[in-house]
Homo-oligomer: A and B are copies of this chain.
Amino acid sequence: MIPKSHPRHSSLSERHALEAGVRRGITHMQGFIAHGRGEAFDYLIGEKTTAAAKNAIRAAAALLLLAKQPVISVNGNVAALCAKEVAELAAAVNAKVEANLFYRREKRLKAIAAELKKFGVDALIANGKTKLPQLASKRAIVSREGIFSSDVVLVPLEDGDRTEALRRMGKRVIAIDLNPLSRTAQKASITIVDNITRAMPLLVKKAKAMKRMPAADLRKLVASFNNKINLKQSLLIIRRGVR
């Protein structure tokens, strides 16, 4: 255990959670590299949830509450770092949860589903028959009742190609991505530029708090959110971080 007082407590805890994820067959080693990239950007934004991220989280909560068929896509890093929050969010916004990997492996998908099950979530796993159009390789595989039929997809830590394919299908995509310049960040409908370990608990809190808001107010919130402007604010913070 790392003492809470340690200056790098959260970042060390995350690393240990990922290591545990590898041991349990949930996380792929390549997920560590993605996490490291995130760490670098987190460092540049000051390792805290910015005002821009808070706005994006609010809009994301509204969009998830308005959705008819919201789906939360869960990969190895997400399962290792915030399976509990995924379960809470799914309950709060009545979303389906789909285990979905960049490097698709049956065994790992099952390990992720088992991890989510601990928190009461019955995750969907694609059977391989349904694919996103215009996207090559195994990355195109999604579940028909899950991502394929969804209107809003939350993709914490997704790759650019898949985000684009989802957008082409007319879906609204909410991404959590620490790099505001990434294709995922640029192509998503709402991009939360924040560490998922900070953003997910806040998103759960917001979704619960906004649950009784009238739909018209939620729609106003979503309509007033401009992702391009929001991303620019995050970039500005990073630029200031590079002093």
Could you list which residues of chain A lie within 8 angstroms of chain B, going by C-beta atoms? 15, 18-19, 22, 29-30, 32-41, 43, 179, 181, 235, 238-239, 242-243
Contact = CB atoms under 8 A, between A and B. Distances in A.
Q: How many copies of this kind of chain does the complex include?
A: 2
Nearest to A180: B242
A31 to B, nearest CB: 8
A45 to B, nearest CB: 11
Given A235-B243, A239-B242, A15 B33 contact: yes
B29 A40 contact: no
A19 B239 CA distance: 33
A18 B37 CA distance: 15
A177 to B, nearest CB: 12
A39 B33 contact: yes
A88 to B, nearest CB: 27
Given A40-B40, A181-B242, A33 B35 contact: yes
Contacts of A32: 29-30, 32-33, 36
24 contacts: A15-B33, A19-B30, A29-B29, A30-B32, A32-B32, A32-B33, A32-B36, A33-B33, A33-B35, A33-B36, A33-B39, A34-B36, A36-B36, A37-B37, A37-B39, A37-B40, A37-B43, A39-B40, A181-B243, A235-B242, A235-B243, A238-B242, A239-B239, A239-B242
